[in-house]
Structure 1
Amino acid sequence: MSELSRGPGRVLVAVYAIFTLAAGARSGYQLATEFDRAPVAYLLSALAAVIYLLATAALWTSRRGIALAAIGIELAGVLGVGLYSVLDGEAFPEPTVWSDFGAGYGYVPLVLPVLGLLWLRRSSREPVSPER
């Protein structure tokens, strides 16, 4: 287990893994069966799933730089898509994971990258204890 996936990091990795599966399964189904209905929304959800996967793997393996990049892109995505979807409700005929700042997922997509960035910051200050 890596330093980033210890303590509260375990919960963070678990939530990222769940969101990888949720966003990936939903967008995969939508892309396969309803692509013509809202291709941009479904592709954005697939992109979110890929970003969640990168964040999950990077946190699990303590690849801090990749985790920081993935989580930073995730935050920019949820803020950008969230704001755009609020300002222009017709822009996305179907919601994405990030629409309305993640309202369809209990706003977890908005809170998750903030927690992820805070965890990266906090864990970079902690001394690493030797394995027993």
Structure 2
Amino acid sequence: MSAIGYVLGISYPLLALSTGARGVYQLFFRDDLPKLAPALSIFSSLLYLVAAVGFFKRSPRAWRVSVTALSIEAIGVLTVGTLSILAPDLLGHTAWSRFGMDYGFFPLIQPLLGLSWLLYRPTRAAYGVGPVRQA
């Protein structure tokens, strides 16, 4: 696995833990928040876990699952991030609010970096995905 793969494989479980803990705390101990906000945080933490497993397991199926999870994550971050700026009270405060600003914008950067890495030819070859040409 390349350095980027290791970074993603380590950072995704950490982000899953932090967003999952935040979502569970908000869901059970913060009655003043709309329930959609913690639900989105918990959903994002599950996506992070799915992607993390795919980073370490080398198979075409794991690659497809990771690409799907990261695509959903990227769309979610862009959608929730945009809505949180245009209509801040609509969704409440989630891990993806303001494009993940509370998490140093990692929720925005990580899926884009992860997709770039997964779509990179040597990575696809390591997963056994797509046409692999010998030089």
TM interval, short-chain normalised: 0.7 to 0.9
CA separation in 1, counterparts of 2:126 and 2:104?
A: 31
Q: Which has the higher contact order (CA 8 A, sep 6+)?
A: 1
> Any stretches of 5+ residues in structure 2 without a counterpart?
129-135
Runs of 4+ in 1 over 4 A off after TM superposition: 125-128
Please report how far the alpha carbon of residue 35 of structure 1 lies from its aligned counterpart in structure 2 after TM superposition: 4.6
CA separation in 2, counterparts of 1:105 and 1:43?
A: 17
Residue number in structure 1 paired with 2:133: none
Residue number in structure 2 paired with 1:57: 53
Residue number in structure 2 paired with 1:13: 9
CA separation in 2, counterparts of 1:126 and 1:29?
A: 39
Equivalent residues of 1:35, 1:42 under 8 A apart: no
Farther-moved stretch of structure 1 (6-15 vs 80-89): 6-15
Farther-moved stretch of structure 1 (52-61 vs 5-14): 5-14
SS at match of 1:45: helix
Q: What TM-score does the superposition give when structure 2 sets the normalisation length?
A: 0.84
- Structure 2 vs 1, CA of residues 71 and 83 (structure 1 numbering), >3 Å: closer, same or farther? same
Identity of aligned residues (%): 35
Q: What TM-score does the superposition give when structure 1 sets the normalisation length?
A: 0.86
SS at match of 2:88: coil
Q: Does 1:39 align with 2:35?
A: yes
> Any stretches of 5+ residues in structure 1 without a counterpart?
none
Residue number in structure 2 paired with 1:87: 86
Q: Does 1:119 align with 2:117?
A: yes
1:71-104, Cα deviation, whole Å (9 max, x unpaired): 00000000000011111122134x1000011111
